[in-house]
Amino acid sequence: MPGTNNEIITTDLITQNIDFTERFAQSIQTLIRILGVSRLQPLPVGSQVKFYKSTLTLADGDGVVAEGAVIPLSHVKRELVDTKELAYRKFRKKTSAEAIQSAGYKQAVTDTDTKLLREVQNSIKLNLVDSLDTQNATMTSGATFQKAIAAALGQLAVKWEDYDIQTVLFINPLDYYDYLGNADITLQTTFGMQYIQNFMGFNTVIMTSTVTRGKIIATASQNLNYVYASINGEMGSAMQYTADQTGLIGIKHSVQDETATIQTVILLGGMLFAEQADGVVIAHISETTDPIPTANNTNNEIRSWLLRHNVSSSDLTGFNKDSLLSKVTSVSISESTSESLANSQSQNGVG
């Protein structure tokens, strides 16, 4: 029950804190579920989170070894590319007595708390995109939005071909709507981001303005992790933070008599990141054509090109480089013929 004349009392603040933390926890847990993240791991604050990439060097001969001969060694090297410390992120605001008197408690405190929550969410989104958008990712490109997505999907198929993966794509909303035009597509929203599932070969597509326009970022959900320093425990109890059951976020409201204000403090220590940096694919939307691979390209690069040009992955298993290049020639001739036919029809008024 509120105090006399609707004044704010301590129990009102506690109730608001519980509602705030529960809403945030549900929102980020929905995002984690949509992304397909299966690992939600609490760690002590100050823990070192490490990012790796793997390099594979195959032995000469493409696995062909004479009877009785020594099998040459292939080499896999796992390199540490970055380390980040798991730290608490802290946000604070104050609302004056005059603002509460003028606008009312809900508008002055509760509504501005919601705006602060959005900034906290944006901070997490920025950190996620920053962890994905690194120079250690596999780079590719496509002349159009659709071709860039196909290129990313092809690279993922090569990178994770021995795994049963769920694919995740991050794109800028402007690129998405430029491609769709006026098409009627149903989108859903969570954690301040729109998303769609089972679109253009990807299990989940996340739209966020934190991704640079003209760039798309893709990875496997199995590559994503969420670690957090729990707010629950001795620190949360000592400082009287209200936290959700998992301890993903803590909030505290307090009356500051010396300044005649109500203070809101938010504390969280979560990090959503890709563990394998080279398991991320970044595709740029460009106006350049996709170069036709040659003998100077690796088998994986040739396979990626063929996948981007709509060759089924089942048709690329077990082929050596000469056979793959033969397929490249066939695809190139087919695409060239189709393009010439389309140009001819256009010139003759056939459409």
Q: Is the pLDDT of residue 322 over 50?
A: yes
Token code pair at residue 300 = 């994986």
**For range 140-153, the mean pLDDT:** 90
290 vs 332: which has the higher pLDDT: 332
**For range 322-348, the mean pLDDT:** 70
- Percent of the chain, pLDDT > 70? 84
Let me know: does 88 contact 269? Beta carbons within 8 Å. yes
Q: What DSSP letter does each residue of 130-167 carry, written as one string? A: HHHS-TTSEEEEESSHHHHHHHHHHHHHHHTTTS---E
- What is the reported pLDDT for 337? 64
Report the chain's mean pLDDT, rounded to a whole number: 81
Q: How much is the pTM? A: 0.67
Token code pair at residue 254 = 């307090």
**For range 116-128, the mean pLDDT:** 82
| pLDDT tens per residue across span 239-298 | 888 888 888 888 888 889 999 999 999 988 888 888 888 889 999 997 545 678 888 777
Q: Is the pLDDT of residue 48 over 80?
A: yes
**Which residue carries 């490249």 as its tokens?**
328
146 vs 79: which has the higher pLDDT: 146
- Distance separating alpha carbons of residues 349 and 343, to the nearest angstrom: 10
